[in-house]
Structure 1
Amino acid sequence: MMNIAQEPFGTYKGKPVTKYVLTNNNGVQAGILDFAGLLQSFKVPTKDGGKADMVLTSENLDEYTNNGFCTDRLIGRVAGRIANGHFSINGKEYQVEQNEGKNSLHGGTNGFYSYIWNVDGTKKTADYLSITLSLTLTEEMDTFPGTIHVTATYTLDNDDNLTLKFSATSDADTLFNPTNHTYWNMAAASVKTVDQLKLYVNSKDHLEVDDGKIPTGKRLDNAGTPFDFSKPTRLGDALQKMASTKENGFDDIWEVEPSLTKPVATLEDPESGRKMTLYSDRNALIMYSMNSDDPAVYNHGQVHPHLGLAMEAQTLSDAINHDGFGDITLHPNEEKNYTIKWHVEY
């Protein structure tokens, strides 16, 4: 039964946070917080009449805010890293906050993920449900030039698609490369890692990066490496090959074929039959295999490495400093729109 419900979800910096639960006719449910536009849960029916979450989830807001994982939040103005927090637009140089060593990460400490967004409205039709969130950031708030106004609309339809559409305008030259930082693991809650999941990515190459994870500008072939997911590949096998790396896993940038009709990536759990197909109109998929044992706790119990897989659809990282990576500039009197779509099977 098509429905949008609201419930309180704790407080952030003394202000109330609200969860909006969108439920379609098939019983698929998306839980979205006004805090950080966070995709708090994405539940599908199970064969025994219950519901299973496709994403790492918690019912406690503090578990989202007390770790550095950006779990399930909206990210921007610029997802990923900007080398030295420095760039130029039309010959003018800009310096933004350097919040990860000398680099800028995920829009700085006061990016999209640090605010309770406005809820502009919800919509319910016979075919879909949607919620539109908005946020206005000034240079004083996040160090990026210009005042940017952003909307993020989540839409859940009866074909079991969850679509996220970003839209932005600015009063001055600025950058806009947002994403959603959801961690996926659709295995049973008792399964402690993503090892048994199978991953496909429509990608031929990934970016070479330096020690600070900044692209060098060089593209590396995926073929014959652990980065090759051109056929559905068991994640445990790929992660095992990455065990000797400094990260003990992936925190990397795949160049993908942008498409809203042809899968950019799929992630499935052969045991339960649950599967997520990702579509994106941009050329990169950043994947982070949660290589940490940060003591934060989620629905799968104590966190340990490889609990979930973040799949961040965006334009290639540090694009503003590399020709041919994509245009992430946003100019006055211009509106930019980006779409990410997830289709679930169960």
Structure 2
Amino acid sequence: MGIVQTQIQLGDRGVQHFTLTNRRGMVVELMNWGATLVDVCTADRDGVVESVTLAHEDMGTYLENGPYFGCIVGRVAGRIAHGRFHLDGTDYQLPNNQGEHHLHGGAAAMSHQVWQVGDVSESELGLSVAFHYRSEADENAYPGILDVTVIYTLNDDNQLSVDYQANTDAPTLCNLTHHAYFNLSGRTRRTVHDHVLQVQAATVCEMDADLLVTGGEWSVANSDFEFRTLRPLDATLCSADVRLALARGIDHYFVLADVIANQARAQAQVVLQDELSGRRLQVFTDQPCVVLYAHNYAGHEALRHGVVGQAHDALCIETQKLPHRSASNGDHAAALYPNQTYRQHTRFCFDTV
């Protein structure tokens, strides 16, 4: 029980690694490269504690980390069409790092940088580690300095909270997310096809053939996007619906319904469950949107426990702001100004059913 801090090597880089263990035996691994959640280990219904996230076998692989396993993504999560945005009366051009478009903040963004380690504490509230990153002005062509703090807290109720705060000295963009991939079978024994999912969302963002949002929304009713009640993922991951087939499965923005009211009622916005192991993950957030992505473009990565990465072997649950509407001529939805503070709270709660 407690926090163990060590230094590990990522190739030729030394980084700080933290192992958090609560009173119920749940284990969380963190490191300050990309403020990354390396692993989560939690019990099944028989009390067997096993890994429920995807992690690279060779830690040096995190230097590249093409799938963004476990890291903090920003300045802007997701795609910005052609790397262009309008803010505060000015048009900006960002470098395009995914074909003709800008993805996850650009190359060598905060997800692929060493963060400073802040407070490391053990209290009645839980075990906490804070990470800080300063994104300098013009990093990947974004305007303004962005100072980001992310705090992970593990409590004895098997709840892992991720709290974000960011400030800027000039108008800029900020839409951060967490990019952990979850598979509740334990040690990635199976894909997530048989996991069941519930999402409090009546619509998903309309997307074009390049997976860029258009500004419209699709109803989930009578479609393979319908998860307002618990339903297996299999039909959606194998769907012939062209909107899903273009993405090789689920990779879409779900617009969360009545987030503030749901939080007041302590109702999870997302529930993921593996009925064979009994493990359940409930996600609570103050964000209006969640991207669900099932590792559709897996690249045969060498993962922990001798697993080889394959399509649909885990589900990424990316809470965030509503995305940039590429058809809009107005200011970007992720705008952040010097007189504002960006905040996000997302809580991952693990139990068994």
Q: Does TM-score exceed 0.5, indicating one fold?
A: yes
Q: 2:152·2:161 contact (CA, 8 Å) conserved in 1?
A: yes
The percentage of counterpart residues that share the same residue type is: 26
* Match of residue 209 from structure 1: 207
Aligned mate of 1:331, from 320, 327, 337: 337
- State how far apart, in whole Å, the 1-side matches of 2:331 and 2:171 are: 19
- Per-residue deviation, 1:142: 2.5
* Match of residue 272 from structure 2: 267
* Match of residue 283 from structure 1: 288
* Match of residue 226 from structure 2: 228
CA shift in 2, pair 1:321/1:156, >3 Å? farther
Pairwise CA RMSD of aligned residues?
2.1
Question: For 1:297, what is the secondary structure of its paired residue?
Answer: coil
Q: 2:26·2:158 contact (CA, 8 Å) conserved in 1?
A: yes
- Per-residue deviation, 1:323: 8.4
Aligned mate of 1:307, from 304, 310, 313: 313
* Match of residue 79 from structure 2: 81
Q: Which runs of 4 or more aligned residues in structure 1 lie more than 6 Å from their structure 2 counterparts after TM superposition?
A: 323-326
Q: 1:10·1:16 contact (CA, 8 Å) conserved in 2?
A: yes
Question: For 1:139, what is the secondary structure of its paired residue?
Answer: coil
CA shift in 2, pair 1:48/1:275, >3 Å? closer
- State how far apart, in whole Å, the 1-side matches of 2:71 and 2:7 are: 18
CA shift in 2, pair 1:117/1:145, >3 Å? same
TM-score (norm 2): 0.91
- Per-residue deviation, 1:276: 0.5
* Match of residue 120 from structure 1: 118
Question: For 1:337, what is the secondary structure of its paired residue?
Answer: strand
Letter in 2 for 1:218: G
Structure 1 stretch 68-77 or stretch 233-242: which is displaced more?
Answer: 233-242
Structure 1 stretch 51-60 or stretch 159-168: which is displaced more?
Answer: 51-60
Taking the TM superposition and a 5 Å limit, the aligned residue runs for 1:117-156 are 117-156=115-154
Question: For 1:340, what is the secondary structure of its paired residue?
Answer: strand
Aligned mate of 1:317, from 320, 323, 328: 323
* Match of residue 346 from structure 2: 340
* Match of residue 250 from structure 1: 250
Q: 1:98·1:104 contact (CA, 8 Å) conserved in 2?
A: yes
CA shift in 2, pair 1:197/1:6, >3 Å? same
Q: 2:45·2:279 contact (CA, 8 Å) conserved in 1?
A: no
- State how far apart, in whole Å, the 2-side matches of 1:136 and 1:321 are: 31
- State how far apart, in whole Å, the 2-side matches of 1:286 and 1:304 are: 19
CA shift in 2, pair 1:233/1:128, >3 Å? same
* Match of residue 8 from structure 1: 7
Q: 1:203·1:255 contact (CA, 8 Å) conserved in 2?
A: yes
Q: 1:214·1:318 contact (CA, 8 Å) conserved in 2?
A: no
Aligned mate of 2:300, from 295, 299, 304: 295
**Residue correspondences, number:** 344
- State how far apart, in whole Å, the 1-side matches of 2:290 and 2:106 are: 20
- Per-residue deviation, 1:231: 0.9
Letter in 2 for 1:154: Y
- Per-residue deviation, 1:292: 2.5
Letter in 1 for 2:280: K
Structure 1 stretch 259-268 or stretch 325-334: which is displaced more?
Answer: 325-334
- State how far apart, in whole Å, the 2-side matches of 1:297 and 1:59 are: 6
Letter in 2 for 1:6: Q
CA shift in 2, pair 1:164/1:323, >3 Å? farther
Aligned mate of 1:54, from 52, 55, 63: 52
- State how far apart, in whole Å, the 2-side matches of 1:176 and 1:305 are: 30
CA shift in 2, pair 1:319/1:131, >3 Å? farther
Structure 1 stretch 145-154 or stretch 59-68: which is displaced more?
Answer: 59-68
- State how far apart, in whole Å, the 1-side matches of 2:130 and 2:326 are: 28
- Per-residue deviation, 1:190: 5.8
Unaligned runs of 5+ in 2: none
Unaligned runs of 5+ in 1: none
